[in-house]
Amino acid sequence: MPHLDQRRAELLRRRLTGEDFATLARELDYADAAEAAADFAQALAETEPLETAARQASDRLALDELHHAVWDTATAGNLDAIATALAISDVRSRRLGLDAPARLEAAGPAVDLAAVTAAELDELLTLAEEPLI
């Protein structure tokens, strides 16, 4: 059996490449998948802050596993599984920033702010204070 630090490092490395906890538990001599998952979580907590990309990869893998677990039931028409799959997709979208609002850009010509007169500025401020509806 590898040294505890080596085993934990191997657990982190292999989990971040996509291996499931059942396989890791069997091959790295954990009692079961739950123990491997708990050691993985502990290793993440104790490790100096991992690069953002590594944490995101771990998070994506967990969401992928959950999504895969309900997919067949959802595609068979089970409404609870469909709701769960959609909730997982929503979480993934938020975490990956896919639901970020679109950036808006001015469609008109560029304004030379130095050339705006006090009267024009007052007019713009008045327009901004008026309700849109």
Amino acid identity of 46? E
Q: pTM here?
A: 0.45
Confidence band of 1 (pLDDT split at 50, 70, 90): very low
Residue pLDDT, tens place only, 97-113: 777 666 666 666 676 77
Separation of first and last alpha carbons in the chain: 71
Residue pLDDT, tens place only, 27-43: 999 999 999 989 988 88
Is the separation of the CB atoms in 98 and 63 below 8 Å?
no
**Res. 65: pLDDT tops 80:** yes
**Res. 48: pLDDT tops 70:** no
Range of weakest confidence among 3-7, 61-65, 72-76, 123-127? 3-7
Cβ neighbours for 24, distance < 8 A, ≥ 6 positions apart: 11, 14, 15, 30, 33, 36, 40
- Chain centroid to Cα 15, Å, comes to 17
